[in-house]
Amino acid sequence: MIRIPRRSGVSPPERPRRARRWRTASALLSAGVLVTSLLGLPAALAVDDSSSASAPAASGGAETAAEPTAQDTGRQTDGTEPAAGTPVEAEAETGTEDGSGSRPQDDAGTLTAPALLRDGTGLYPRVLRLEHSGEASGRVLASVVTFEDGNGLGAIYESTDDGATFEQVGTVADPESSGGKGLCCATLYELPQPVGDLPAGTLLWASSAGQDEDDRRMSLRIWTSHDVGRTWSYLSSCATAPNDGGLWEPEFTIAEDGALVCYYADETDSAHSQKLSAVRSYDGVTWSDPRDVVASDWPEDRPGMPVVRKLPNGTYFMSYEICNPGGQYQCVVHYRTSPDGWDWGDPAHLGYRPETADGRYFRATPTIAWAPDPGGDPDGRILLIGQMLLNADGSTAEGNGSTVMVNSSNGEGPWTAIPAPVPVPDAQPDYCPNYSSPLLPSADGTRLLEIATDWDGDVCKPYYATAPLG
């Protein structure tokens, strides 16, 4: 992914400002800059050498891990296979017959218009609907990263009308992200059950802090709120770098055994340009048992940007990107599953690439959401979005920056393309347009809220809109 260098007094960020201080030259080459032909390098050669690999079963459980090799056996050059069992034609779940869709309309049949969440810099948005917060349950909360006078801040917004309007209700001001120290990639999470002394409904906000310090030692710092986002207190750090490598993109879930799990992208292991790691805690304060979740046998691969959702059948579903030094499958979106939120199988297995029946796929910065099925199917639907939409041959697809993919089979088989509520048709390799756009279905699964960022002049601003989901 592209991380944003933040130096004192720089707000809003210059456009496009892509570089930051990378650990090694290979890390620079494999960063999420999404360049398809960087220095003429070929695509990753780490491919799955097992012809029997298949997508995980819908009944749950981690997928069978295959042994990746450094030889090209004629499979996908991003090192993984598309989801197995994809038929030639997909049954359209929503949208038009060809899956391309058209711009959503409101009940009156007119086009819905995205609105500004924040009239200023607002990066890496996140959104959730409170479900465990007593009288506040049903409210929608959102967060963005912003900067004032060189200080990195988390701006917290609330909607009491299911995403029709928002107002700012809180700010997370971490001293470790002040004075130009750096702030990136914040997440927002509501505890669905108690963890130690933290009651259900506790809000967690976590970020990558300290990226721009000299001789940096980054950390993933967690803050809590017990008043629906109005005030925040520091809780703990789920990871602290042992060297000047980066720690990025924290993500939370509650594992089957009740542990709070923190997933993140990890640049601190000299054997990997970047890998996905996880730690867990039973009280939210003490973190232990670090483990690799996705760690390629090819050191240049850079899995990152994990997002995890628990499905109704008990399976945990993770989306992420894998960047490498170029080629058609640079930063392609992948997924894998776990039966318990902790054991994801062999870390060297790179996962599966979600695709439509005609081979379209997402590049970079994925997020996922689960939506109930209005027709009553207990499996519901998985919703997926990425920064760019590509055709099977790697060219930019129609609907780029304006498409969501839907799957009603727990991730198996083909995905169907539908229009995104917030269209960003000029999405490109940049840290702003359609970058890590969160999705939030309505409680009944009939509507979809999205927050997406885009340039307004030289300012990266967050926009939101709700569209029919069907």
pLDDT digits (tens, 9 = 90+) for 223-237: 999 999 999 999 999
> In the structure, what pLDDT confidence band is assigned to residue 325 with cuts at 50, 70 and 90?
confident
Contact 66, 80 (CB under 8 A): no
- pLDDT of the residue at 59: 30
Region 116-129: mean pLDDT is 98
Region 418-425: mean pLDDT is 96
Length of the chain, please? Answer: 470
- pLDDT of the residue at 327: 84
Put the strands of the sheet holding 167-172 in their side by side order. 123-129, 140-148, 151-159, 167-172
Q: Does residue 277 register a pLDDT over 50?
A: yes
Query: For 348-365, how does the pLDDT look when each residue is reduced to its tens digit (9 = 90+)?
Result: 999 999 999 999 999 999
Lowest mean pLDDT among 93-102, 238-247, 386-395: 93-102
Report percent pLDDT > 90 for the chain: 74
Region 377-388: mean pLDDT is 98
- pLDDT of the residue at 1: 55
> In the structure, what pLDDT confidence band is assigned to residue 326 with cuts at 50, 70 and 90?
confident
Tokens of 286: 């003490």
The alpha carbon dihedral of 240, 248, 9, 156 has a sign of negative
Query: For 143-155, how does the pLDDT look when each residue is reduced to its tens digit (9 = 90+)?
Result: 999 999 999 999 9
Look over the chain and give the mean of its residue pLDDT values, rounded to a whole number.
82
One-letter identity of residue 192: P
Q: Does residue 111 register a pLDDT over 60?
A: no
Q: Does residue 239 register a pLDDT over 90?
A: yes
Q: Does residue 74 register a pLDDT over 80?
A: no
Region 282-296: mean pLDDT is 98
- pLDDT of the residue at 79: 43
Region 90-114: mean pLDDT is 43
- pLDDT of the residue at 360: 98
Closest CA to 124 of 447, 468, 438: 438
Q: Does residue 446 register a pLDDT over 70?
A: yes
> In the structure, what pLDDT confidence band is assigned to residue 266 with cuts at 50, 70 and 90?
very high
Q: Does residue 88 register a pLDDT over 70?
A: no
